Amino acid sequence: MTEVHLRDALDTLKSTGVRITPQRHAILEFLIQSMIHPTADEIYRALEDKFPNMSVATVYNNLRVFRESGLVKELTFGDSSSRFDFVTIEHYHIICDSCGKIVDFHYPGLDEVEQLASHLTGFQVNSHRLEIYGSCPTCISQATKMQ
C-alpha cells in the first residue's frame, strides 16, 4: 500500500516539475507510513539521523511544496504547530482532548452535506471539515488507573 502511494506521489511531483531530492523522498515516505499526523518538528526529529544537514525550515519548505502539489493537507487547530496529513481519500479526524492524538475515520455519508449546503444557500462549495473531540482509549485507561 505504502509503495503504491509513494510511487503515485512521486509521479505527481514529477508531473508538476518538482525535483525529487533524497530528503523529499524520505519526508513523503515518513508521511505516508506515519499514522500520527506529524508536525514539521516530529518529521525533523524522525529523519535527523539520516539527514544531519537538514533543518526544520527545510522540512517546512518541503511540506509547503507537497501541499501546493495537493499531496498533503495542513491541519491547523488554533495552536502554533500545524500537523500534516498525506492525502489519500477524504476522511475525518477524531482528536483527543488530553494528549492531542489524531485518528482518521471514514464517513462517506457527509458528502451529501456539501450538495445540501450549496442547494440551500446558493454557495459554490469548495470543501468542508469536521472534527470530533474526546478522550482516546489510552487516556481513558490512564485516568481510570489514577483513581
Residues contributing to the site for Zn ion (CB under 5 A): 85, 96, 98-99, 101, 104, 136, 139
In the complex with Zn ion, which residue's Cβ is closer, 31 or 54? 31
- Residue 25 annotated as part of some ligand binding site: no
For the beta carbon of residue 131, count every other beta carbon within 10 angstroms: 11
- Residue 106 annotated as part of some ligand binding site: no
How far apart (Å, rounded) are the C-alpha atoms in residues 29 and 45?
15
- Residue 139 annotated as part of some ligand binding site: yes
Nearest approach in angstroms of CB 22 to Zn ion is 26
In the complex with Zn ion, which residue's Cβ is closer, 28 or 136? 136
In the complex with Zn ion, which residue's Cβ is closer, 51 or 103? 103
Nearest approach in angstroms of CB 74 to Zn ion is 11
| Neighbouring residues of 105: CB distance < 8 A, sequence distance ≥ 6 | 91, 92, 93, 94
For cell 513523503, the residue is: 28
C-alpha cell at 76: 491547523
Nearest approach in angstroms of CB 53 to Zn ion is 30
Nearest approach in angstroms of CB 79 to Zn ion is 16
In the complex with Zn ion, which residue's Cβ is closer, 13 or 136? 136
How far apart (Å, rounded) are the C-alpha atoms in residues 40 and 72?
12
- Residue 128 annotated as part of some ligand binding site: yes
Strand 92-96 and strand 131-134: the pairing is: parallel
How far apart (Å, rounded) are the C-alpha atoms in residues 4 and 32?
10
Q: Which residues are annotated binding-site positions for Fe cation?
A: 128
Please give the annotated binding residues for Zn(2+), written as ranges.
96, 99, 136, 139
